[in-house]
Amino acid sequence: MSASPALPLPQALRNERLSQLEIFLIAPYLIVTASYVPVLAARLGASPLLLGALTSLPAIAVALGATLGRAWTTRPGSANAKIIVPALIFRTQLLWIPLLLFLPAWRAEALTLVVVIVSIFAGVANVAFTILMPRLTNRDRLSYLVSSRWTALGIGMAVFTPLLAALLDALAMPVNYIVVCAVTAVFAIVNLVILGKVRYASRPAAPAEQASRRGNVRRVLRHRPALAYILMTFAAYFAQTAAAPLITLRLVRDLGVSNSDFGWYTAITWAAIALVGVLAPRLVAALGTGRLFALSGLVFALHALVLALGASLGWVLLSGAVNGLATVLFQVTAFSLLTDTAPPDNFEGYVPLQSLAINLAIFSAPLVMTAMVSAGVTAQAGLLICVLLRAAFGGVAWMRHGQKPA
């Protein structure tokens, strides 16, 4: 990857503070869309098939948006607008959700359709931000930036989750969702204003754009480190997300945890993310990016193992802490390796392909595991399969990256 011209340190530090604040403020939006939109769909009478579509189809929509992200990000114009415009369209679901509640019928179906459509713009925004983030600060501060963003997000999720839950419980349907969407929209708008205050380094000099998208894909895939990393991150996300439906089945059906207990599991996960995010730069400096990346796979395997074998609430809560640790180790190092393995002068063509691979994994893994459960595999057995998948990823990652000190 070509290095962007270095920012003056005061500008880089200012950008980092703005980035930490904006991700803290987007936490309410993430809580509403990731946690409460599926709950709303269920309350509106969505079938199991429709609920599955609400989980899987947005990943395909994000993947579609990712394929458009490079063309959008490399066009002339403001770098800030390249993130803000698609992000704003994605967040319009905060307007659509209350309006859909007044439909006489097909409300769950309409909700699913809206979520899928706006998720295309989430894919564009995600790719734009990933491409631009190395220009937000200096290369030697990227690990700190990523880890500090996870800390800020962890704090935001821990703070806003109980507040929004209390607000939803305090009011009757549909007023509760209307109020929650309105409150969340305020935070989302402030988040966009802060995004607009970031000043990015100039785009690094690059050779002429490729004649076709197909030619760009071939160019990326011919770079062996890039191809290997795309395959590795597909495997990593497949192993991670395959466990998603199994965790709910294990906790709710097998162990019978209450809604409050499940909330504590989630809260401990985010608290661990916030704590480990503070320590991550020191861990990277001490052990190296490649080693921590590989170690994250083994810690994810431990998370699934504790859930599979633990039979009490204490083990469930411990698994939440392990999950938070693994999440930060993976996310902080994965971005650094993304920049390290990019083809020379073609980071902007590399990011959409990697994003496409990730979202295909997020789409397919839960479906594969759900099909296995439907065929008779228990949630406990499925989690043990995920242990093997995650450990295998960690082993392969160690062989490729773990021998490198940085």
| Pairwise CA distance, residues 63 & 107, whole Å | 25
| Pairwise CA distance, residues 162 & 267, whole Å | 9
Q: Structural domain boundaries of the chain?
A: 7-201, 219-406
Spell 62-101 as b/e; 16+ CB within 10 A means b. bbbbbbbbbebbbeeeebbebbbbbbbbbbebbebbbebb
> Which residue, chain included where needed, has tokens 């937000």?
136
Sign of CA dihedral 309, 314, 316, 320: negative
| Pairwise CA distance, residues 234 & 141, whole Å | 26
pLDDT of residue 215: 64
Read off the tokens for 65.
Answer: 């948006």
Identify which of 334, 116, 127 has the alpha carbon closest to the alpha carbon of residue 240.
334
At position 69, the amino acid (one-letter code) is: G
CA 42 to chain centre: 23
**Contacting residues for 173 by C-beta, under 8 A, at least 6 apart:** 43, 101
User: What is the CB-side half-sphere exposure of residue 334 using CA atoms within 13 A?
Assistant: 22
pLDDT of residue 311: 86
At position 255, the amino acid (one-letter code) is: L
**Contacting residues for 202 by C-beta, under 8 A, at least 6 apart:** 4, 5, 135
The answer to whether the CB of 27 falls within 8 A of the CB of 153 is yes
The answer to whether the CB of 225 falls within 8 A of the CB of 350 is no
Question: What pTM does this model have?
Answer: 0.80
pLDDT of residue 211: 46
**Contacting residues for 223 by C-beta, under 8 A, at least 6 apart:** 341, 342, 343, 344, 346
Model confidence pLDDT, tens digit, residues 340-375? 898 887 788 888 888 889 989 988 888 888 788 888
Read off the tokens for 332.
Answer: 């902080």
Cis peptide before 174 (omega within 30 of 0): yes
Residue ranges of the chain whose pLDDT lies below 70: 1-5, 48-49, 204-215, 259-260, 402-406
Residue 335's SS3 state is helix
| DSSP string across 150-187 | HHHHHHHHHHHHHHHHHHHHHS-TTHHHHHHHHHHHHH
Backbone angles phi, psi at 90, to 5 degrees: -60, -40
Number of H helices, E strands in the chain: 17, 0
> Which residue, chain included where needed, has tokens 């993304």?
338
Specify the CATH superfamily of domain 219-406.
MFS general substrate transporter like domains (1.20.1250.20)
The answer to whether the CB of 127 falls within 8 A of the CB of 73 is yes
Model confidence pLDDT, tens digit, residues 96-110? 999 999 988 899 899
Are both 7-201 and 219-406 of the same fold?
Answer: yes
pLDDT of residue 259: 62
Read off the tokens for 26.
Answer: 């987007």
Read off the tokens for 188.
Answer: 């989302």
The answer to whether the CB of 362 falls within 8 A of the CB of 237 is yes
CA 81 to chain centre: 21
The fold adopted by the segment(s) 7-201 is Growth Hormone; Chain: A; (1.20.1250)
